[in-house]
């Protein structure tokens, strides 16, 4: 069973061979739905949400600097169910690095 992705959801680590981009909670800007949970609007992510950037760690002695760790949400598992007309991200979907195309499955 897939679960809705919220601000505390963590993606998986990735590397570009020069820098390590560690697993990190999404943070950033989820959207508040009209669904209420625990007395508060449910905050979830879709492909228009902007997760917080990942701080890279240099792993290679080359002089090439690390690229910014900006991520986008990519639907993989949920491609049909919508909340408030938007396609919410669920576990198994991906936070993909903007640079390159490294998939970072959401856990």
**pLDDT tens digit sequence for 49-62:** 999 999 999 998 98
User: How many other CB atoms sit within 10 Å of the CB of residue 30?
Assistant: 22
Residue 102 has pLDDT above 70, yes or no: yes
Contact 23, 11 (CB under 8 A): yes
**pLDDT tens digit sequence for 8-56:** 999 999 998 899 999 999 999 899 999 998 899 999 999 999 999 999 9
Percentage of the chain exceeding pLDDT 70: 97
Query: Can you give the pLDDT at residue 27?
Result: 93
Query: Can you give the pLDDT at residue 24?
Result: 94
């Amino acid at each position: 069973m897939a679960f809705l992705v919220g601000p505390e959801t963590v993606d998986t680590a990735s590397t570009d061979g020069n820098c390590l981009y560690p697993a990190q909670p999404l943070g950033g800007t989820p959207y508040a739905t009209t669904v209420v949970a625990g007395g508060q609007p449910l905050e979830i992510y879709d492909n228009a949400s902007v997760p917080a950037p990942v701080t890279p760690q240099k792993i290679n002695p080359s002089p090439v600097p690390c690229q910014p760790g900006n991520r986008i949400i990519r639907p993989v598992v949920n491609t049909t169910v919508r909340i408030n007309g938007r396609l919410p991200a669920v576990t198994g979907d991906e936070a993909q690095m903007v640079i390159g195309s490294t998939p970072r499955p959401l856990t």
